[in-house]
Amino acid sequence: MNPVQYDLVEDLASLPHVNESNVLHSLQQRYYSNLIHTYAGKKTLLIINPVNSLSIYTEKVCNYWGMQRCEIRYRSIITTLV
């Protein structure tokens, strides 16, 4: 197990001990803290969708992307996972 200071690490590649249980533990801790974006190396971004609205996206961001477009993309991701 990694030391507690690594629970909310932004990049999983920086964990001292990278294995399945440590990665899942870090993702779980970040999820509980509403930190749903986590890097796994330089080019991979993991996003855990809490299936509810988050205040991390401003109205300006939502307007830019368009709520309908976001909803369609979200539904396609959910159907793929089910």
Residue 30 burial by Cβ neighbours in a 10 Å radius (0-12, 13-18, 19+): buried
Q: Distance of CA 21 to CAs 27, 50, 54, 63, 79, Å?
A: 10, 20, 27, 38, 27
Q: What is the pLDDT along the chain (82 residues), one digit of tens a residue?
A: 888 888 899 999 999 999 999 999 999 999 888 888 899 998 888 888 766 666 666 666 666 656 555 555 555 555 655 4
Per the confidence metrics, is the pTM higher than 0.85?
A: no
What pLDDT does 31 receive? 87
